[in-house]
Chain A
Amino acid sequence: MTATTRLKLNLGPQHPSTHGVLRLLLELEGEKILSCEPDIGYLHRGMEKMAEKLTYIQYLPLVDRLDYLAGFFYSELLCRIVETACQAELPDKVRVIRVMMLELNRIASHLLWVGAFLMDLGATSPYFYVFREREMILRYFEKVTGQRMMYNYFIFGGVRKDIEFLENVEEIISILPQKIDDYEKIITDNPIFIRRTVNKGILEPETAFNFAITGVNLRASGVDYDYRHQDSLYKGFDFKAIVLDGKDAWSRYKARILEMRESINIVKQALDYLKKSGPLEQRLIPPINLKLPEGEYFAEIEAPRGLACCYVRSEGDDKPYRLKWRTGSYYSVNLLRNILKGEYLNDAIAIAGSLDIILPEVDK
């Protein structure tokens, strides 16, 4: 094979299936991918540098923008950093409220992924079905937080206001399982879907470890690692990690479906607690002139797209000296280099889609 039979294809940054502005430089032979070079940074907003110029409370509304589909997780991280630094204990009710919002957010994020993934595979209808269900969750978020995507609801030491409209959550978790059953009916056992996803994009656990893959992608490769089990926030909640050992795109799809069901379970437990609980009592950390003691702080959480971490180094100032985010998608993009090699172009789209990459999180 000579070099002249190869074709360099520039996939993106404006391409319908890169879910944002990812650019992939592909080297093709026919439709077979010889190499893939992801090029990121088209959505870089300087999230980390900005933190150094802003006080903690000024920075808090911005972190929701890190991942516009799962904003709660990032504000939870920043809150947690400040709370550990100030050694604040969260009351149980605040904790449960946060867990409920996080899990609803996880469901919304996974729902959108199901739609987008099927869109990548060429099925247009599921996209609209998932938006219908996601809309219920977003409406609820809007009622409680006033925002549909950039919530800014968690605040240092608690939440901005007491949880309300619990009957809506009840409605959501009663409707959602049937709807997920419906998706499974038209998607999971569809022969074309199976042909396009089973044994496609095999991710061996060793490769996953080498590329620092976490979250659903790792668990669908048969590794039982769910940070929520170690997380003090989730103390008292009964749930299990979804571990599948298919290692392929289909398992990653199925794992997300199962994880949505598990999240519904967690929301149910949170709801039971909240319905019995009294009014919200919390001691907020005064945000004005808030200075973190000198030192390094670290917090991590199981976000929908893998482990999300926040590292802050403070010099005792009201602004962080350095702030660093670790996001799951960043490592998934890096994985494309490895996982797309030797695949065919239309499988490649399915495989890249199955990793659940979202670009604002990658470019930060």
Chain B
Amino acid sequence: MNYLYFLYIEFLSRHNIPKLFGDITFYFIPFCIIAAALLVVVLVLVLAERKLLGFFTQRKGPNRVGVWGILQTVADAFKLLCKENITPKKADRFLFNLAPILAFVPMFAALGVIPYSAEFTFINTQTNVILYLVLAAFPVISIFLAGWASNNKYSLFGAMRSISQVLSYELPIAFVVLSIAVLSSSMNLTGITLAQFSRWGVAGWFVFPCILGFVIMFISILAELNRCPFDLPEAESELICGYNTEYSGMRFAIFYLTEYSMMFANAMFLAILFLGGYLSPFGKYLFNNSFLIYFEQAFWLMLKAGIIIFVMIWIRAVLPRLASFDLLKFSWAVLLPLSILNFFIMVLYKFIAGGGVCA
């Protein structure tokens, strides 16, 4: 990020624009980059999911709009934009309209925390892991608001389930993240990434000492994202569409957008914590000593996130939905104790491998 910042300030000073202007406007650049990239990513993700589900069930998936159906999601998004925004008569108008915004904004901010490459982290604070966790858990508030404000019983059920689900799966995530913080001696995502560096690439990844944590984290993230087999808040066969039953048009699209960008962000988060983030799996980069190295690093991160997302879609194609009681029981009785155990194992591992408490 510093690199970009200097480029920008230098560019401004060449045109005699004061540095203060640069300091203020600098954050618009990453904002625009994320906004543009996010839309593309979500469109691609939705298409990929539909295509993959099609292949898993021996169908072709969308294949009418554009070559190989590539414009299908663009058409869908356009259709949603054109649709009427309906607010139910008995809904709480203010909260009903606020909910999609509250879902979208923190998710957007969460994407800013991710280190896409060595220089490309928009919000690079000392403890941005915690910042990420807070921001990633935020959309559940908007889900609850949406369910409550819709004044629809199905929405309310969806919201209730969502709250209980996210609350109970947040704890295992916290413990796993804590064990990663212990392993890397850092609370900064870039720091965690760099702690996984080794000359042999893959060998340094935290997924090897912390495989248990990886599995726990993966399951918890599925639950946080309301994805199959944890899609109870949106269980179509029971709750029609869950919390967004009453939403239409662009507001529905925003929920949809949030859902998929959360999936993308969480996949990247998982890749950073366990799969070495933007580090090359071979230890060496193809484009050393060139500007392209940033793109290569971003590519590795995207690739790892893409593989994780593929597995998520694969799981969706295979598994039925859990029962609501099993869901909570699974978190409190299985995942939470295991994640605490994992934490102690990691502390022990660090103590032995690192040679001391303060290593």
Contact = CB atoms under 8 A, between A and B. Distances in A.
Interface string A1-44: 00000010100000111000000000000010000000000000
B25 interface: no
A16 B238 CA distance: 8
Contact of B57 (A129, A196, A353): A129
A122 B53 contact: no
A124 interface: yes
Interface in B33-72: 53, 56-59
B56 A125 contact: yes
B57 A9 contact: no
A195 to B, nearest CB: 6
Nearest to B327: A346
A128 B157 contact: no
Interface string A99-141: 0000000000000000000111111110111001000000000
Contacts of A125: 53, 56-57, 317-318
Interface residues of B, number: 27
A50 interface: no
Contacts of B238: 17, 345-346, 349
A347 B324 CA distance: 9
A346 B317 contact: no
Contact of B53 (A124, A132, A347, A353): A124
Contacts of A127: 57
B153 A195 contact: no
A186 interface: yes
Interface in B204-262: 228-229, 231-232, 235-238, 240
Interface in B302-331: 316-326
A288 interface: no
Contacts of B157: 31, 345
A222 B153 CA distance: 38
A244 to B, nearest CB: 21
B235 A346 contact: yes
A122 B235 contact: yes
A344 interface: yes
A349 B318 contact: no
A173 B58 CA distance: 21
Contacts of A121: 237, 320-321
Contact of A196 (B56, B59, B320): B320
Interface string A163-200: 00000000000000000000000100010110110000
A126 B59 CA distance: 13
Nearest to A123: B320
B150 to A, nearest CB: 15
Given A124-B57, A124-B317, A192 B237 contact: no
A132 B316 CA distance: 20
Nearest to B153: A9
A23 to B, nearest CB: 14
Contacts of A7: 153
Contact of B321 (A31, A122, A132, A186): A122
Contacts of A118: 320
A192 B317 CA distance: 14
A118 B236 CA distance: 12
B240 A15 contact: yes
Contacts of A349: 237-238
A192 B323 CA distance: 8
Nearest to A18: B237
Nearest to A352: B237
Nearest to B317: A125
B138 to A, nearest CB: 26
A128 B58 contact: yes
A124 B57 CA distance: 9
A192 B319 contact: yes
A9 B235 CA distance: 16
B136 to A, nearest CB: 24
A128 B59 contact: yes
A122 B317 contact: no
A7 B231 CA distance: 23
Interface in B125-173: 153, 157
B321 A128 contact: no
A16 B320 contact: no
B324 A129 contact: no
A118 B319 CA distance: 10
Interface string B166-189: 000000000000000000000000
Contacts of A347: 323
A124 to B, nearest CB: 7
A244 B320 CA distance: 24
Contact of A122 (B56, B153, B229, B325): B229
Interface centre among A31, A125, A132 (most CB of B within 10 A): A125
A36 to B, nearest CB: 14
7 contacts: A7-B153, A16-B237, A122-B321, A123-B318, A125-B317, A129-B57, A129-B58
Query: What are the 6 A-B residue pairs with the smallest beta carbon separation, nearest first?
Result: A122-B321, A128-B57, A17-B237, A123-B320, A121-B320, A120-B237
Interface of A: 7, 9, 15-17, 31, 118-125, 127-129, 132, 186, 190, 192-193, 195-196, 344-347, 349, 353
Given A17-B238, A128-B57, 5 more contacts: A122-B319, A124-B53, A124-B316, A129-B58, A346-B238
